[in-house]
Structure 1
Amino acid sequence: MQPPDAPVPQLCFGQVRHRRLRPRANAFAYASYYLRLPIRTLGAQGFGCKLVTRNRFNLLSFFDADHGNGERPLVEWIDALLESEGVHDADGEIWLQAMPRVLGFAFNPVSFWYCHQAGGALRAVLCDVRNTFGERHFYLLDNGAAIANGSELCARKVFHVSPFCRVEGGYRFRFLRAVRDDGEHTLACIDYDDADGLLLQTSLSGLATRLSDASAARAFFGFPLMTFGVVARIHLQALRLWLRRVPFHSKPAPPEQKVSR
């Protein structure tokens, strides 16, 4: 049994924003929701809900096999990855932020593993990035010490995501968390710079609610077929860029190393 002050699974409601600056300006925003799960505290436990389940089909569901390497327990996998990358003090809570499966289907363009020290400070962030070609890559954000709220973290781009961007340049990440009167707010910002400077700006915001049947019903019925819509929007935006004659780049082979910085 968990102590009364133990972290609990969350369902966050917010917005995705994306802006391209050149060679043709393009911007969009849409409402979204995602799970935030305290993986270390949860262990192998379920969520105690009827409408959202773990490793079992439902309106909303979370399958361990969709994350990590699909084989080892999630905590064991992330701890081993961090150790292999020289991060030895992320021994606190691990919060996994990802979209659930909706009616059994999920596509997460990016999931975030927020890895904390025992004292609560954020120590590292693992970004699990996927493209629509079925490929996947991990960017490990680690500055060698505790990460201050909102500080900038950088990673070199090595993985193909969009045919309208070359595999060059790098990403700048910022993660912010604030507790206000209406609850806990989170914000992840990603800026992409190519050889000519800032090209893309993306952000994902959310207001956390406790994961429950009520919040799951709000998500499922308020945002019908949300994960299917993610894939549809990706292809719709790609079509818009193609029609506007934004240069198209062929997909290179994925990097041999699964984890980069």
Structure 2
Amino acid sequence: MEVPRFASGLYVGSVMHHRVKPVRHRLSYRVFSLLADLDELPRLDRELRLFAHNHFGLIGFHDRDFGPLGGESPLPPREREIRDLKGWAEGQLAAAGIEGGGPVRLLCFPRVLGFVFNPLCVWFCHRRDGTLAAIIHEVSNTFGQRHAYLIPAAAGPDGLVRQHCDKRFYVSPFMDMETAYHFRIRPPGGQAGERLAISIRQTDAEGPVLHASLTAERVELSDGAILRAWARHPLMTAKVVAGIHWEALHLWRKGLAIRPRPPAPVHPVTVVRGADLTNIAPTRS
């Protein structure tokens, strides 16, 4: 089997949301995502003409869009720009008592012509031997806030990672806070043409409320692949943001009441240990 040029890659597929109560509502749209190996970002910037790291490009990756480097970070703007994302992730693992030291790969929507909004980014954090140690689920809302759930990870015999946590962060104005997330993930392995699958089931005390999923196929990262993905989805960021508000309008018209927005969690990362959740302050790396 031919070794891929990069551990990073594009994943082309679709996002689906299916709300089952108190009203039924479903949406689905095509997207492409970037799996960015954080160690490779300088190399991607050098070798790909259509990819940009921390500057303008057709598609790009800006450090300040993730982790503690933007949103409500207490760091001054200049310090946000120079903080190392992998160092931040390793610091969070160490503070949680989880072994790291291996690759950190971040699945996200890339910037498209300088613009991006990521409802969910998934950080795959590995040990030195390459095995998956933890996943950081980083959630953003349309109010400029961001929060992350750090959960230890181990694949089962079927290759799937199963995780769960209680909701701690306000996302949709039409969703109660007293719910839980149940994740089922087929992590990326880096093989050409592989299938990536992320499924999220949101439940309340009475059962399922929402099912969401991302299914995608890996495309090797090249200028040609970038150009083809952009040509199929030239306004992807605008589509994501517009879609969120359009679907919110539909939910409001179906009679759902807007839930009040509580303050964001004091600390930007919630560490999940089994069924127990402990908030920790961000580490300095």
Q: Is the structural similarity TM-score above 0.5?
A: yes
Aligned counterpart in structure 2 of residue 166 of structure 1, from 159, 173, 176: 176
What corresponds to 1:104 in structure 2? 114
Aligned counterparts of 2:167 and 2:187: Cα–Cα separation in 1: 25
Q: Which residue of 1 aligns with 2:43?
A: 45
SS at match of 2:259: coil
The AA in structure 2 aligned to 1:79 is: E
Query: Which residue of structure 1 lines up, in the alignment, with residue 283 of structure 2?
Result: none
Alpha-carbon offset, residue 150 of structure 1:
1.4
Could you give the per-residue CA deviations for residues 126-157 of structure 1, whole angstroms, max 9, x where no partner exists?
A: 011000000110011115xx343313201110
Residue number in structure 2 paired with 1:254: 264
1:196 is displaced (CA, Å) by 2.1
Give the letter for the 1:98 counterpart: C
What is the 5 A alignment of 1:191-202?
191-202=201-212
Equivalenced residues, count? 254
For structure 2, the 5+ residue unaligned runs are: 70-79, 273-285
Structure 2 residue 81 is the aligned partner of structure 1 residue 83: no
8 Å CA contact 1:96–1:111 kept in 2: the answer is yes
Q: Give the conservation status (yes or no) of the 8 Å contact 2:138–2:146.
A: yes
In the alignment, what sits opposite 1:19? 18
Query: How far did 1:117 drift?
Result: 2.0
C-alpha distance 50-223 of structure 1, shift in aligned 2 (>3 A): same
How far, CA to CA, are the matches of 1:134 and 1:119 in structure 2?
37
Aligned pairs (5 A) from 1:1-261: 7-40=6-39, 42=40, 44-47=42-45, 48-70=47-69, 71=80, 72-87=83-98, 89-142=99-152, 146-148=154-156, 149-177=159-187, 183-260=193-270, 261=272
Q: TM-score when scaled to structure 2? A: 0.84
Q: What SS does the corresponding residue of 1:164 show, helix, strand or coil?
A: coil
Once the two structures are superposed, what CA deviation does each residue of 1:2-38 show, in whole Å capped at 9, x if it has no partner?
xx77743201101101100011100111111010011
Cα distance in 2 for residues equivalent to 1:5 and 1:226: 26
- Structure 2 residue matching 1:201: 3-state secondary structure: strand
For 1:61 and 1:134, how far apart are their aligned partners in 2? Answer: 20
Task: Report the TM-score, using the length of structure 1 for normalisation.
Answer: 0.91
CA distance in 1, matches of 2:204, 2:11: 31
Separation in structure 1 between the aligned mates of residue 55 and residue 212 of structure 2, nearest angstrom: 32
- 1:43 and 1:107 mapped to 2: Cα distance? 20
Deviation of 1:207 after TM superposition, in Å, equals: 0.8
Paired with 1:178 and 1:197, the residues of 2 have a C-alpha distance of 29
Letter in 2 for 1:246: L
Distance 2:189 2:141 in 1: 33
CA offset at residue 43 of structure 1?
5.9
* Structure 1 unaligned regions, length at least 5: none
| C-alpha distance in structure 2 between counterparts of 1:193 and 1:253, whole Å | 22
Determine the C-alpha separation between the residues in 2 that align with 1:197 and 1:181.
Answer: 36
Aligned identity (percent) is: 35
Letter in 2 for 1:224: P
Task: Give yes or no for contact 2:192–2:218 (8 Å, CA) kept in 1.
Answer: no
> Deviating runs (4+, > 3 A) in structure 1?
4-7, 43-47, 177-182
Structure 1 contact 185–206 (Cα < 8 Å) conserved = yes
| CA-CA distance at 1:58 after TM superposition | 1.3
Compute the displacement of 1:221 (Å): 1.1
Task: Measure, in 1, the Cα distance between the counterparts of 2:49 and 2:257.
Answer: 47
Q: Which amino acid aligns with 2:106?
A: L
- Shift of the 43–52 alpha-carbon distance from structure 1 to 2, 3 Å rule, reads closer
| Amino acid in structure 2 at the alignment position of 1:99 | F
CA contact (8 A) 2:197 2:213 kept: yes
Counterparts of 1:205 and 1:11 in 2: how far apart (Å)?
Answer: 12
